[in-house]
Structure formats: C-alpha cells, structure tokens
Amino acid sequence: NHNRQQIRQSILRLLDRREEIINGISNYLDNAKKSVEQFSKDEMEVFKLPKEEQLEEAIESASESSSKAKFMLDENDDEADGSDENSRKLSEEEEDHAFPPGSDRLDDILDEID
C-alpha cells in the first residue's frame, strides 16, 4: 500500500513537471513568433532594396563623384612631382617620429641584456 502511494506521488510529480515543460515550450514559441513578426514587419524598411532605376542612378552618381575625386588627386600629384626630394625628406622624418624615442637603440639594449 505504501509503494502504491509513492508511485502515485511520483506520477503526479511527473505530470506537474510535464505541465511546466509544456508551459515553458509554449512561452518560448510565443516569444519566437513575436520575434519573427517583428522581423518580418521591417518598419524601418531596412531589408527593402531600392527599385532598379533608383539603384542605377545611385551607382552612376557614386561612380561620377569618385572619378571627379580621382582627377583632382591626379592634378595634385602633378604639382607634387617637382618637390619629390622634399617629400622624401619629410617622409623620412615622419618615419623617425613613428617610433618612440630610444627605440633605435632597442637592439643594442637587448644584446646587452643577453
């Protein structure tokens, strides 16, 4: 008789546990469904592509502006050809300042430590 009561309690606990699991899965599915609905709404139109005509116009205007910028840079390069030596000296000085002071002696210091 005592064993039957234990078995009955175990079955009742399992049934309660089953209900908890079902409720948990239902909540998860509800949340997932809400997320999918929000994602599919696309209120800010993030996932919509522009129409073909608008897309082609945007590409053309972007390529025109980049080609204009390229021409301006080319003109600047022509002016800079005469001052090649000055730019080399400046770049060497910039390289010297690129490293912290004393780093040119770093190899010597490491050799002394060894």
Q: What is the pLDDT of residues 63-107, one digit of tens each?
A: 776 665 555 555 555 554 555 555 555 555 555 555 666 667 777
What pTM did the predictor assign? 0.38
Mean pLDDT within 41-65: 74
pLDDT at 38: 87
* Cα-Cα-Cα-Cα dihedral sign, residues 80, 84, 86, 90: positive
Whether 59 and 52 have beta carbons less than 8 Å apart is answered as no
Tokens of residue 25, six digits: 């899965």
Backbone angles phi, psi at 42, to 5 degrees: 50, 55
H helices of 2-80, in order, are 2-41, 52-80
pLDDT at residue 24 above 70?
yes
